[in-house]
């Protein structure tokens, strides 16, 4: 039986005590959670959420990089209610269909960054990437290339938490104690110039070296065994890593040389986040498969998509003809209510010109973060593009040296952020993410940056008091 909460502030019948007694939270240190308890969120409006005590916080990461239209959009509520009354559920198995599924597929194909043939739907980014991996395996079997199955992703990349997607993910916490990654998943270097470039190496030179490393890996493994390469246009949960100049140009040249499919993981970057409709457009990627989720429905309901080009589709079609079916799908693939909300979300994005709005607010965010905190003694790097960014904390600015993880410096800043009315998220290397709802205004960006600057100053005071840093 779970021990009662140790914190006397958590009354026996409080939401916090009930949470501690019954909830197993994702991405949580559960021993620490028994002491601290949850932050219970009860409402939202625009870019703000509020807790059970009525305190309001600016949500700097749109929940989990996802609430593109913020936390109170009546049109999405109405779209869900209308579809619930009309057709609350139907499936897409064995050729069944419904209008929200058809319309959403059309809309995504029309908006794709490169020509795409078909759209498939799942419930999460993890499932979308898991599906993309299975498609690659299925395709090569259908084409009579059963050895061409290995897939490469990157150290620090994030592609989800199902068994296959977590294997693609290149972060230790997603592998340790889970017996991951599975066989056939390889990881190449992280494209982070700040930490991984050699002394004096320009971004272009760094990109050339990373492309050469990728080619060496493919040749070493055998080009007839390597089938796919998964990449986020901008790495999200791995630290908001913007690739160096010319990176994807050089990487894609290697992939084309050895007939390796490119999967663009747009789960975070899609729908205006990087200042273009797709991160692939911002970064010059030409994917064979594209996965998306999160802002697809502004996360009001779970839904994700997988777009495939004609070459991939034809191979899947041929395989399904050989077997009699394409034996993959989810009960809720293209769920009519989720699809209807996604359709309405895309219509709203079009009407408000989400790309221009996000690009304008993103330019303000990038400029103000650099102006406000880049010179702070605790800050090693401010990075990002559009409405996605990160501030990395370091113990030594000159050496780019991070704090010992045991000091939990970023976690302290997250707590101080809450005191100053911000919901912050800590990433690897004591990086703090910024990915607010795409509807954020320049004035709200200013509020966010001002509050963050105050929390950062408070962190300096706390670290001095605790003897963890001299700043």
Structural domain contains residue 135 = yes
Q: How many domains does the chain have?
A: 2
Q: Are 65 and 81 in a shared domain?
A: no
The kind and range of the H/E element at 79 are helix 74-86
Q: Are 62 and 185 in a shared domain?
A: no
Mean pLDDT across the chain, nearest whole number?
A: 96
* pLDDT value of position 283: 98
Describe the strand order of the beta sheet including 422-423 as a list of residue ranges.
41-45, 48-51, 56-59, 422-423
Mean pLDDT of 236-241: 98
> Has this prediction a pTM greater than 0.85?
yes
Q: Are 361 and 323 in a shared domain?
A: no
Structural domain contains residue 258 = yes
- Summarised one tens digit per residue, pLDDT across range 2-49 is 455 456 556 678 999 999 999 999 999 999 999 999 999 999 999 999
C-alpha 289/C-alpha 114 separation (Å) is 10
- Residue 378 to residues 311, 393, 396, 429, 448: CA-CA distances in angstroms? 49, 5, 8, 13, 19
- Residue 408 to residues 63, 236, 260, 411, 420: CA-CA distances in angstroms? 22, 20, 40, 5, 19
Q: Are 213 and 258 in a shared domain?
A: yes
Structural domain contains residue 19 = no
Q: Which position has the token pair 């401010």?
A: 382
Structural domain contains residue 18 = no
* Residue 402 and residue 395 in contact, taking contact as beta carbons nearer than 8 Å: yes
* pLDDT value of position 280: 98
Q: Are 414 and 336 in a shared domain?
A: no
- Residue 319 to residues 109, 224, 261: CA-CA distances in angstroms? 23, 20, 18
Q: Which of 352, 372, 395 is the last residue of a domain?
A: 352
Mean pLDDT of 141-158: 98
C-alpha 188/C-alpha 250 separation (Å) is 14
Q: Are 302 and 204 in a shared domain?
A: yes
- Summarised one tens digit per residue, pLDDT across range 335-346 is 999 999 999 999
Q: Are 276 and 422 in a shared domain?
A: no
Structural domain contains residue 260 = yes
Structural domain contains residue 313 = yes
* pLDDT value of position 3: 52
Q: What is the CATH number of the domain that holds 314?
A: 3.40.640.10
* pLDDT value of position 471: 60
* pLDDT value of position 10: 66
* pLDDT value of position 470: 63
Q: Which of 304, 335, 352 is the last residue of a domain?
A: 352
CB count, 10 Å around CB of 116? 22
Structural domain contains residue 33 = no
* pLDDT value of position 8: 54
Q: Are 51 and 81 in a shared domain?
A: no
What one-character-per-residue DSSP string does 261-297 give?
EEEEE-TTTTTTTTSSSSHHHHHT---SEEEE-GGGG
The values of phi and psi at residue 160, to 5°, are: 125, -170
Q: Which of 293, 321, 352 is the last residue of a domain?
A: 352
Under DSSP, the state recorded for 186 is E
* pLDDT value of position 12: 75
Count of alpha carbons within 13 angstroms of residue 73, beta-carbon side? 24
Q: Are 302 and 363 in a shared domain?
A: no
Residue 143 has pLDDT above 80, yes or no: yes
Structural domain contains residue 286 = yes
- Residue 90 to residues 13, 18, 357, 383: CA-CA distances in angstroms? 39, 35, 35, 44
Q: Are 367 and 284 in a shared domain?
A: no
- Summarised one tens digit per residue, pLDDT across range 300-310 is 999 999 999 99
Q: Are 333 and 410 in a shared domain?
A: no
Under DSSP, the state recorded for 430 is G
Q: What is the CATH number of the domain that holds 365?
A: 3.90.1150.10
As a whole number of angstroms, the longest Cα–Cα distance in the chain is 69
Mean pLDDT of 436-455: 98
- Summarised one tens digit per residue, pLDDT across range 400-435 is 999 999 999 999 999 999 999 999 999 999 999 999
Interacting residues of 278 by C-beta distance below 8 A, sequence separation 6+: 112, 113, 233, 264, 266, 269, 270, 271, 290
Q: Are 146 and 274 in a shared domain?
A: yes
Domain span at residue 325?
A: 74-352
């Amino acid at each position: 039986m779970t021990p009662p909460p140790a914190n006397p502030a958590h009354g026996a019948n409080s939401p916090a005590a009930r949470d501690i007694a019954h909830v197993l939270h994702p991405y949580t240190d559960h021993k620490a959670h028994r002491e601290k308890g949850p932050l219970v969120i009860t409402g939202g409006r625009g870019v703000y959420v509020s807790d059970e005590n009525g305190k309001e916080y600016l949500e700097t990461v749109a929940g989990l990089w996802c609430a593109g239209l913020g936390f109170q959009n009546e049109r999405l509520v109405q779209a869900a209610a209308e579809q619930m009354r009309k057709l609350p559920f139907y499936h897409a198995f064995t050729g069944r269909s419904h209008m929200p599924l058809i319309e959403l597929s059309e809309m995504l194909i029309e908006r794709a960054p490169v020509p795409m043939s078909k759209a498939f739907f799942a419930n999460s980014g993890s499932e979308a990437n898991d599906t993309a991996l299975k498609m690659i395996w299925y395709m090569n079997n259908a084409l009579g290339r059963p050895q061409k199955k290995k897939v490469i992703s990157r150290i620090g990349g994030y592609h989800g938490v199902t068994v296959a997607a977590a294997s693609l993910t290149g972060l230790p916490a997603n592998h340790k104690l889970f017996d991951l990654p599975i066989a056939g998943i390889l990881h190449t270097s992280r494209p982070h110039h700040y930490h991984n470039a050699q002394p004096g190496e320009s971004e272009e030179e760094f990109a050339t070296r990373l492309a050469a490393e990728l080619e060496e890996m493919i040749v070493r493994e055998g080009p007839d065994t390597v089938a796919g390469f998964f990449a986020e246009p901008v790495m999200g949960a791995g630290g908001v890593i913007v690739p160096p100049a010319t990176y994807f140009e050089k990487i894609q040249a290697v992939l084309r040389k050895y007939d390796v499919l490119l999967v663009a993981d747009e789960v975070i970057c899609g729908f205006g986040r990087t200042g273009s409709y797709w991160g692939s457009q911002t970064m010059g990627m030409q994917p064979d498969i594209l996965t998306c989720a999160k802002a697809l429905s502004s996360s009001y309901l779970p839904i994700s998509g997988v777009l495939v080009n004609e070459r991939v589709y034809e191979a899947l079609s041929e395989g399904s003809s050989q077997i009699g079916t394409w034996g993959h799908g989810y009960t809720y693939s293209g769920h009519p209510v989720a699809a209807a909300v996604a359709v309405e979300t895309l219509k709203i994005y079009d009407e408000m010109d989400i790309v221009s709005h996000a690009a304008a607010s993103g330019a303000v965010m990038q400029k103000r973060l650099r102006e406000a905190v880049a010179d702070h003694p605790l800050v090693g790097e401010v990075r990002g593009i559009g409405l996605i960014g990160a501030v990395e904390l370091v113990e030594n600015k000159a050496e780019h040296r991070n704090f010992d993880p045991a000091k939990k410096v970023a976690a302290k800043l997250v707590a101080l952020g809450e005191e100053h009315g911000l919901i912050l998220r800590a990433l690897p290397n004591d990086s703090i993410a910024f990915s607010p709802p795409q509807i954020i205004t320049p004035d709200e960006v200013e509020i966010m940056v001002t509050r963050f600057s105050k929390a950062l100053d408070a962190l300096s005071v706390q670290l001095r008091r605790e003897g963890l840093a001299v700043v």
